[in-house]
Amino acid sequence: MGIFSGSINDWVFLFGIVLIIVLVCVLVTSWKKSLAERAVYEEKKQLEENYKELEEAYKQLQAANEKLDIKYEELKVSEERNKKLAYVDYLTELPNRAAFTEYLEYTLSTLKKGHILPVMYIDLDNFKEINDTLGHSYGDELLIDCAERLKQVIDKNDYLARFGGDEFIILSENVINMWEYENKIQNIQKIFSQPFILSLKEFFITCSVGVAVAPKDSDSAQNLLKNVDVALYHAKGLGKNTVSFYEPSLDTHIVTKMETQSELHTAIANGQFELYYQAQVDLDSDRIVGFEALVRWNHPEKGIITADKFIPLAEDTGMISSIGSWVLFQACRQLKEWQDMGFKDLTIAVNLSSRQFKDSDLVETVEAAIKEAGIHPEDLELEITESIALDDITYSIDMIQRLKEIGIKISLDDFGTGYSSMNYLKYLPVSNIKIDKSFMETIIEDKSDKAIVSAIITLARNFNLDVIAEGVESTEQASFLKKAQCNIVQGYLYSVPVSKEDADSLLKNTDAEKIHNMFQQEETETVQG
């Protein structure tokens, strides 16, 4: 028993030991499992956090990519816009000067031997007057309309661009012969025959055209553009609404014109202008009742230059405003001087150019000249040609009425030429009309001219208008006009345009016969001399 008793205790102890070991193992295993689960949890948690971070990073990357896409599109749009600004005219959406020049250079470089390449340079006549009269918004409207009309007449072989301002240019490829090309020019001119509607008013706009042809006139883009510009300049100098093809001789002509332009600037700055005066004689009293003031350029080298030699250039270049203003003020001052000499009933007539008549400040300028000289408004007579008056009848009526309201007399010059002005006479609030001197040349021999002049005088009388006949050179002409009841005459029969000093002498011999005899004597002495 003692033996088994000791053995049982040993077994119990051993079992306890084993149990403890098992428990320890279980505890260790459980702890390890717990640690493993904890590690897995922590790892999982870390993975989740990493995933969130990756997800946030992806979102940020995606947002950044979207921003880059937007920036790329903005840059692309900006590039396209800049390219458009560089090569497309903003107003008409036609190619601009830069685009045309590049295309011209390319076309010239690929021009086949024996082929021709005409370039047509188009300039709108009197466009500045539209801007000055109606404003730039209407000028822009006109340019857009012109562009659309030009698009309608060009074909696939034409490259149309706005070259700047009121200028358009067309490059024509695959031209077979110049005869067909001239037809194209005519078609382009025809599109301007229809009026432009601006501010609910009709405006007729013509265009001047210059043409240069490669390779005859040049195979260089720069020189070709220079030559077509010369041709256009010549066309405008011919009286506008004309076409001029480049010729080498034009270069000399343009240089001379540019030199004259420069000299004209100097003349304005240095006061090289003078006024000459042609007497206006009343047929009933045979006395001088007024003078027409005529500007002359006293050139330091070329001597006295008549108005027809420089006024058109002054008109084209805008210098006419300065010259015209000087003439107006000087004529008013001279009239005041004569009136102070005792010739109280004397009047003075001053010609207005087209640009002057369209000047928005004309009324204010006239008022200033009258006030400065101290003369009565009714003693000043402003002359406008019928072509100017009828160019924009609505504007003319309004402007003439404004001038009449301050007491100014308006004379319609060159009456009877170029227009059916008799139809408009009842609408124009003019004070008198001047029969063009062209009728005087054949009035004695030509029954038709006699009838026309008689009809004009009768018509004027019916409208209570005075009549002045220009270009009277013979007593026969004067006699006919007197019988026809013409009021006033002027011409070489009585006096050529004379200096202020000679005009003073005329006033002291106001009898028409004495005046005539005086100048006949001077003419004889000149011939004998």
Which residue would you say has higher pLDDT here, 362 or 81? 362
The answer to whether 515 touches 277, Cβ cutoff 8 Å, is no
How much is the CA Rg of the chain, to the nearest whole Å? 45
pLDDT at 285 over 80: yes
* Nearest-5° Cα angle at 80, 74 to 86: 135
Query: pLDDT value at position 363?
Result: 95
Q: Which of these, 350, 353, 384, 355, lies nearest to 369 by C-alpha position?
A: 350
What is residue 81's predicted lDDT score, i.e. its pLDDT? 61
Helix runs in 341-435, H state only: 354-357, 362-373, 386-391, 393-405
Residues in the chain: 529
Three-class secondary structure of residue 63 per DSSP:
helix
pLDDT tens, position by position, 214-273 = 999 999 999 999 999 999 988 987 877 899 999 998 888 777 777 888 899 999 999 999
What was the pLDDT predicted at 30? 74
CA atoms of 188 and 397, how far apart (whole Å): 32
Compute the average pLDDT of residues 414-420. Answer: 65
The predicted-structure confidence for 28-85, as pLDDT tens digits, reads as follows 777 777 777 777 777 777 777 777 877 787 788 787 777 777 776 766 665 666 555 6
Task: Give 456 or 68, the one with higher predicted confidence.
Answer: 456
Lowest mean pLDDT: which of 19-28, 166-175, 446-455, 461-470? 19-28
Distances (CA, A) of 359 to 18, 56, 366, 471: 126, 71, 11, 29
**DSSP element (H, E) containing 97:** helix 97-109
What domains can be seen in the chain, in order of their start residue? Answer: 97-250 (3.30.70.270), 260-528 (3.20.20.450)
Beta bridge partners of 243: 209
CB atoms inside a 10 Å sphere around CB 32: 10
Q: Residue 298: count other Cβ atoms within 10 Å of its Cβ.
A: 13
Please determine, for residue 354, whether its predicted confidence score (pLDDT) is greater than 90: no
Arithmetic mean of pLDDT, 479-490: 93
Q: What is the pLDDT of residues 11-26, one digit of tens each?
A: 777 777 777 787 777 7
What pLDDT is recorded for position 245?
A: 95
Up-side HSE of residue 503: CA atoms within 13 Å toward CB?
25
Nearest-angstrom CA–CA distance, 28 and 137: 96
How much helix, strand and coil, in percent to the nearest 5, is found in the chain?
60, 20, 25
pLDDT band at 126, cuts 50/70/90?
confident
Q: What's residue 527's pLDDT?
A: 35
For the residues 389-406, what does the mean pLDDT come to? 89
Measured from the Cβ of residue 478, the count of other Cβ atoms closer than 10 Å reads: 23
Q: Are 431 and 409 in contact (CB under 8 A)?
A: yes
Per-residue tokens: 336: 């005041």
Q: Which phi and psi angles does 152 have, rounded to 5°?
A: -70, -25
| Residue burial 120-150, b: 16+ Cβ < 10 Å; e: rest | bbbbbbbbebbeebbeeebbebbbebbbeeb
What is the distance in angstroms between the CA of the first residue and the CA of the last residue of the chain? Answer: 190
pLDDT value for 512: 46
Quote the CA–CA distance of 171 and 213 in Å, as a whole number: 10
Lowest average pLDDT, out of 77-86, 144-153, 206-215, 355-364, goes to: 77-86
d(CA 287, CA 282) in angstroms, rounded, equals: 6
The residue ranking higher by pLDDT, 281 or 386, is: 281
Cβ-contact 224, 212 below 8 angstroms: yes
CA distance 339 to 352: 23
Q: How far apart, in Å, are the Cα atoms of 361 and each of 234, 314, 368, 402?
A: 31, 19, 11, 12
- Residue 75 sits at φ, ψ, to 5 deg, of -65, -40
* Confidence bin at 473 (pLDDT 50/70/90): very high
| pLDDT score of 145 | 92
Average pLDDT for residues 477-505, to the nearest whole number? 93
Please tell me the predicted confidence (pLDDT) of residue 526: 38
pLDDT of residue 418: 55
How many Cβ atoms are within 10 Å of 151's Cβ, its own excluded?
13
For the cut 70, the answer to whether the pLDDT of residue 317 exceeds it is yes
pLDDT of residue 75: 65
Q: What is the 3-state secondary structure (H, E, C) of 105-173?
A: HHHHHCCCCCCCEEEEEEEECCHHHHHHHHCHHHHHHHHHHHHHHHHHHCCCCEEEEEEECCEEEEEEC
How far from chain centre, in Å, is Cα 63? 53
C-beta of residue 443 within 8 angstroms of C-beta of residue 476: no
What phi, psi does 521 have (nearest 5°)? Answer: -65, -45
d(CA 368, CA 362): 10
pTM above 0.75, yes or no: no
